[in-house]
Structure 1
């Protein structure tokens, strides 16, 4: 009698296991692997994987939003920025550069023998996905209005670039030395690019800042406000 009960229990377990497997097989395939969820914590869960490959890769934005460039081997975000609908991003690892339309942005260490991914989220932009700690709030940055948003942050070894979604003002802030370096008026669609290695900044290719002591050793932020 005990043997028959044991057989029934085993049979029920097998049936339940089969049904569970079928249920999992019918689940939609995620854009992420389990490894991604463990290591891409700077990428929002609802961002979509839109391009992956080694060597040069491209993506054209189908809406306003934000992209993240992810190094699969290093499991780290190498670059992120906002895009407008129709903007084209081109990743050229052999040059350690990302091109947004005609604007070149230097990104430190993009080996061309590694796979890179581009994630896109059309519901985010202007840094709204960034969670600021109390010590990071713009109100605590001297000279920066509390309503300004952090749109780009990078070490001085890399370029910073931001394309304005509307008319406003951009603030270049030295996070390491807690100082406001410069402010720029910017119009919708214009792109500001800061190159700490060259100690300059440009808007649509026109130099607007030079000789302000930008350093590779510092961390910089671009903030945007109206």
Structure 2
């Protein structure tokens, strides 16, 4: 992740995308926060912080994993010099939020999720990856909400492409009944556990819990 400095507007764009935790169109972005002009869009894309879909109009923008990680560093950052009072207030608020996350041992993805995303009914006969993940979880979990190692889950989904399962787990983690967590006892992890981890933001996660599988 690049440490190149960002303008206040570029920083506020990242924070707006963080708050929404979903693809946001140019039109929406101007309503929710600052406008993302072409030069800043190219810069944020070059730095790997934002992914822009230019195949649709208006363009849509979403934080990359590096973008999530960059936002996490902002939660403890000093206020840049010579910025306007509203921007100083934002940095003050970010530091307070960062302190809360540290005290509560929370990750960004546990706080920021799409506002309208809901758990959809799942048809287990459906070939969707989500349906397969939920069905495999039911087979492996002692009870709904129990933690299941991703290494065991991947073994049950060995016929599915790894990157497809990764993308779906990251998406499902934004649902209110799905939780990914790192294994706190790192000494308990074997090589297969580490290889099976899915990274959200900058955190490798080894465990899955689904409250309504």
TM-score normalised by L of structure 2 = 0.29
More strand by share: 1
Of structures 1 and 2, the larger Rg is shown by 1
Greater relative CO, 1 or 2 (CA 8 Å, sep 6+): 2
Higher helix share: 2
